[in-house]
């Protein structure tokens, strides 16, 4: 391999494979996160003719390679046995530098961060499962499928498996979040839904004799679809695992630590954590019953407002038995109708986010959450959209409270049990036909949906200042040796760029621009020689052979493509003045990044001189601002 010798030396001079925590790369440099930077030998690396320089910045050990950085990166990954991940996604710290400290000081914000981190990896599958569940409900309602058919059973299993085995899946994601072994916490989650435990639960319902663990009576609960027990169990397991790993010898901790965690945490979960969560659920249920008996209006407002909070904590399943009991005793239930506006409120809030946000990823997530929420699956909306943004979640709860009060006033009842979704309206129609109870449910749900949607649309998403938009540029006639300004902004000498590698001229001569508009235009006629996948840097080749690198911002590779929108791709040809790249200038600045943009002639050695015509002044794109002198 051509770059293997260089890769071997780099690995050796950064302290060896064991000293590498991770490695990423940007347009020109390898970025190492090392366990001990003192073990690295930057001076020896600088002596290699294929290494331009070495920089230590931002906690990273950066080896500047140049145009061949990707090939060297791949060679390093092959030697250390890692896959080509190219760029690690930015951390929350990189994206929210200005607000992270405030969030950590707020307990509720810290809780939201934990919940979102645990659920974010499975949001896509959650949304897909919810949509499939909704379609199955529709097919059954339209009598296109029978619940007894094999077709229905297979699709139902596909849609329900994630929720049924929630403790198993959340055990894995919670373990990763809390810094322990995710497979260990996954095993603990598996114990909660093990067939033997579910069988014991069924037997306890049938009146079987109580069972004991070391003389302590056990309370069997159906933990399928539960959330809180496994999260607390995972936290305790990771805490215990870390302590054990510090105490045990290296030769023993790989199997003794998991052994002791399973031995201790699983019984503790069944004896303390699970029953405590269930006790809290029943306490909420009893409170509802007392309030409802006092006045249905207050009961409706209370349940409509607090239901989604209960869903977050996994406490809502303790309330479900009341509905089932009411149906079995009275043939009707007053609880489920009160939950309709709670669902409608979160769906409306998610729709409001979709209408208000300019973030493409958030808009897609909000749109899919609306679809899933219509069919009663609000977890994607809550965990992925409204709760992280806070205000939309609050607006959804307020709308749920108002709508719940209206439904409570109308004393709406259901006559069969099912998930709270759009098809619940078919379950509230009494034998006598449409009456005020049905219209009360419809009006209450519509008011909840409309209020949450409008409040979120206008007040729920922080508005960002409008930045100037890219427009067509007036291009001056360009000579073969001229380079037009690719951006609008203020120019400054290259040696004033706050990055030693660019400022030193090691990557080539040129200048820099502090942009005032988020757009990059073609500085000459030519083609796109390279376009880094994160969108922050591109290499251009003119028809006369000038190679130009445009690097938008300093360290913006950490944004992993966020806020950058390429308008061309590698290999495309262009004319001077064509739009090549747009980026959200305000968002990049708010994320804590310097937007100073070096514009350098990569093949400066091929020319006698690279001259900058305009310095320390504001220029527009399409104006000649650099030129090269042939040798």
Cα–Cα dist 476/470, whole Å: 18
In the numeric block, which tokens belong to residue 22? 């991770």
Cα–Cα dist 482/506, whole Å: 22
In the numeric block, which tokens belong to residue 71? 């090939």
Cα–Cα dist 127/371, whole Å: 8
- The answer to whether the beta carbons of residues 161 and 125 sit under 8 Å apart is no
Cα–Cα dist 628/481, whole Å: 5
DSSP-assigned letters across all residues of 207-276: TPPP-EETTEEP-----TT--HHHHHHHHHHHHHHHHHHHHS-HHHHHHHHHHHHHHHHHHHIIIIIHHH
Q: How many CB atoms lie within 10 A of CB 547?
A: 19
DSSP H or E run through 323:
helix 320-330
C-alpha closest to that of 377 among 163, 166, 143: 163
C-alpha closest to that of 576 among 601, 603, 546: 546
- The answer to whether the beta carbons of residues 411 and 333 sit under 8 Å apart is no
DSSP bridge pairs for 216: 213
Cα–Cα dist 574/586, whole Å: 27
* Catalytic sites, residue numbers: 26
In the numeric block, which tokens belong to residue 513? 């621009």
C-alpha closest to that of 448 among 352, 323, 365: 352
Cα–Cα dist 354/352, whole Å: 5
Helix, strand, coil % over all residues of the chain, rounded to 5: 55, 15, 30
Cα–Cα dist 369/374, whole Å: 9
Q: Which residues touch 612 (CB under 8 Å, ≥6 apart)?
A: 491, 493, 510, 511, 625, 626
In the numeric block, which tokens belong to residue 248? 């045990």
Cα–Cα dist 504/388, whole Å: 43
């Amino acid at each position: 391999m051509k770059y293997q010798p260089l890769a071997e030396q780099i690995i050796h001079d950064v302290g060896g494979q064991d000293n590498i925590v991770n490695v990423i790369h940007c347009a020109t440099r390898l970025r190492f996160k090392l366990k001990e930077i003192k073990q690295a030998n930057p001076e020896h690396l600088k002596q290699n003719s294929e290494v331009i320089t070495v920089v230590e910045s931002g906690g990273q050990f950066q080896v500047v390679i140049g145009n061949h950085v990707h090939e060297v990166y791949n060679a390093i990954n092959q030697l250390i046995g890692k896959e080509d991940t190219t760029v690690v996604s930015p951390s929350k710290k990189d994206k929210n530098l200005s607000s992270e400290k405030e969030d950590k000081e707020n307990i509720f914000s810290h809780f939201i961060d934990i919940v979102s981190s645990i659920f974010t990896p499975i949001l896509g599958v959650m949304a897909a499962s919810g949509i499939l569940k909704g379609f199955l409900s529709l097919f059954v309602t339209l009598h296109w499928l029978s619940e007894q058919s094999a077709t229905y059973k297979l699709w139902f299993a596909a849609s329900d498996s994630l929720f049924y085995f929630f403790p198993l899946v959340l055990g894995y994601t919670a373990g990763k979040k809390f810094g322990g072994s995710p497979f260990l916490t996954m095993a603990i989650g598996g114990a909660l839904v093990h067939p033997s435990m579910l069988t014991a639960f069924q037997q306890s319902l049938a009146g079987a004799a109580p069972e004991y663990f070391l003389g302590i009576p056990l309370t069997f609960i159906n933990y399928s679809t539960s959330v809180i027990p496994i999260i607390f169990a995972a936290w305790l397991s990771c805490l215990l695992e870390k302590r054990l790993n510090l105490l045990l010898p290296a030769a023993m901790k790989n199997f003794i630590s998991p052994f002791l965690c399973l031995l201790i945490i699983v019984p503790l979960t069944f004896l303390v954590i699970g029953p405590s969560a269930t006790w809290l659920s029943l306490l909420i249920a009893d409170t509802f019953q007392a309030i409802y008996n006092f006045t249905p209006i207050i009961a409706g407002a209370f349940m409509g407002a607090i239901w989604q909070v209960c869903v977050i904590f996994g406490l809502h399943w303790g309330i479900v038995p009341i509905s089932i009991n009411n149906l079995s005793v009275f043939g009707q239930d007053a609880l489920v109708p009160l939950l309709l506006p709670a669902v409608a409120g979160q769906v409306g809030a998610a729709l409001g986010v979709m209408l208000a946000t300019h973030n493409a990823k958030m808009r897609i997530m909000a749109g899919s959450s609306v679809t899933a929420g219509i069919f009663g699956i609000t977890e994607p909306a809550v965990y992925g959209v409204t709760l992280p943004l806070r205000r939309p979640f609050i607006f959804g709860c307020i709308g749920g409270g108002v709508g719940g009060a209206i439904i409570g006033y109308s004393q709406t009842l259901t006559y069969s049990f099912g998930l709270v979704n759009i098809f619940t309206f078919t379950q509230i129609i009494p034998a006598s036909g449409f009456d005020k109870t049905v219209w009360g449910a419809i009006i209450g749900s519509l008011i909840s949906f409309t209020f949450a949607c409008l409040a979120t649309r206008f007040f729920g998403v922080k508005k960002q200042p409008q930045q100037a938009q890219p427009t067509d540029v007036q291009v001056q006639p360009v000579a073969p040796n001229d380079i037009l300004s690719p951006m609008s902004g203020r120019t400054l000498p290259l040696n004033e760029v706050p990055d030693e590698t660019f400022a030193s001229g090691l990557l080539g001569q040129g200048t820099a621009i502090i942009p005032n508009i988020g757009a990059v235009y073609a500085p000459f006629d030519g083609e796109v020689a390279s376009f880094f996948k994160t969108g922050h840097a591109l290499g251009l080749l003119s028809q006369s052979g000038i190679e130009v690198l445009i690097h938008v911002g300093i360290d913006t590779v950490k944004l992993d493509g966020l806020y950058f929108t390429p308008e061309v791709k590698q290999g495309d040809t262009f004319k001077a003045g064509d739009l090549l790249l747009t980026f959200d200038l305000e968002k990049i600045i708010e994320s804590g990044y310097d937007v100073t943009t070096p514009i350098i002639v990569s093949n400066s050695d091929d020319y006698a001189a690279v001259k900058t015509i305009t310095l320390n002044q504001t220029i527009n794109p399409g104006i000649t601002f650099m030129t090269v002198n042939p040798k």
